[in-house]
Amino acid sequence: LPFELTRDLDTVGAYDFNGKLTSAMTAHPKEDPVTGELHFFASSPFPPYLIHHVASADGHVLTSQEVPGASAALKHDFAITEHHVVFLEGTVTFDPNEHSGIPYGWNDAQTSRIGVMPRGEGRAAEVRWFEIGQGYAMHLANAYEDAHGRIVVEGPAVGRAGWQRSWNWWVGAPDRGAEPNSGSRSRRWSIDLTAGRVSEEDTDDLVVEFPTINDAFIGREHRYQYALAFPDDLGIGNHTLVKYDRATGARQLRPVGTGQLPSEAVFVASADGADEDGGYLLTVVSDLNADASRLLVLDASDLTLPPVATVHLPRRVPAMIHGSWIPDADLA
């Protein structure tokens, strides 16, 4: 179950939506910026493998639907568009013989698929599953419906070799030069519902993970995308923040220094920010060689500018994966 916090970040306890949430809940819920609805799902290695939930803007569960056709494949993130919910099942699935502490592993017999389900109560039975190339996508940047009616999904993905090297890092197996996201590169899937097919392509050569956008564009086409770039598969290079301009194809890199590991970049819109990138990026940077961390506040419109602010933290914060930002107005 998710946990409820006070506005001062004190823990209230497990939250079950007033008894309406009877399954587990994964990370990465999606709030529709237009309707205010919260979409989230439960994934399990045992039936039912996938349950999709929708809660109202005031926190009441509206629908809970088992999604047919799902499997025991590892599902960590998902996406929404204006009219659809999108699930990815990669080539990583439940493995009861995996004793590293995380009972999942790469399995060539597991078909990689994208499931597209129309939004709305009672629509789960209309889900369509499309086979895609082998791989695994842990996190998705966004999804949207383009001008041609196709559903476009974007996020970093790994192949077999990248998954194994990443796995070795996570479980502490010796693998010189391994990084936690070895071989993870930006990928785009375009789903043509009319033709019943999916095209896919790599969109950049950087090793990246933890993609983020301006959340006001969740489910709608976005122009700017941010990510954390890792050293290449041999451990060469430094950790860097990257900004993509999807309209021009340009990218900006923001190095943070040797031995410095930034966390996922959280976008915060400025009070008067009319532009999609009008705001700030927040990232906690951990010094891998010292007992120190700092919070960087960057101008999201231009990563080459000096930091807007640097906050030296009173104690070390280990390298973080995800973060979030909630304006005071939303906590009133």
The mean pLDDT value for 72-100 works out to 95
For 120-178, what is each residue's pLDDT tens digit? 999 999 999 999 999 999 999 999 999 999 999 999 999 998 888 887 777 777 665 56
Asked if residue 321 has pLDDT above 90, the reply is: no
- Average pLDDT, rounded, for the chain: 92
Instruction: Give the helix/strand (H/E) hosting 253.
Output: strand 251-255
The mean pLDDT value for 65-83 works out to 97
pLDDT of residue 182: 74
- Among residues 215, 214, 200, 206, the alpha carbon closest in space to that of 255 is found at 206
Asked if residue 185 has pLDDT above 90, the reply is: yes
Q: What is the pLDDT confidence band of residue 297, given thresholds at 50, 70 and 90?
A: very high
pLDDT of residue 176: 56
Looking at the chain, the whole-number percentage of residues with pLDDT higher than 90 is 77
| Burial profile 258-274: b = 16 or more Cβ within 10 angstroms, e = fewer | eebbbbbbbbbbeeebe
Asked if residue 77 has pLDDT above 90, the reply is: yes
pLDDT of residue 234: 63
pTM: 0.94
pLDDT of residue 235: 64
d(CA 139, CA 88): 10
For 2-35, what is each residue's pLDDT tens digit? 999 998 899 999 999 999 999 999 999 999 999 9
Asked if residue 49 has pLDDT above 90, the reply is: yes
C-alpha neighbours within 13 Å on the C-beta side of residue 245: 12
Looking at the chain, the whole-number percentage of residues with pLDDT higher than 70 is 96
On the question of a cis peptide bond just before residue 48, with omega within 30 degrees of 0, the verdict is: yes
The mean pLDDT value for 63-90 works out to 97
Contact 230, 242 (CB under 8 A): no
d(CA 103, CA 93): 9
For 251-295, what is each residue's pLDDT tens digit? 999 999 988 999 999 999 998 878 999 999 999 999 988 889 999
For 200-229, what is each residue's pLDDT tens digit? 999 999 999 999 999 999 999 999 999 999
pLDDT of residue 177: 56
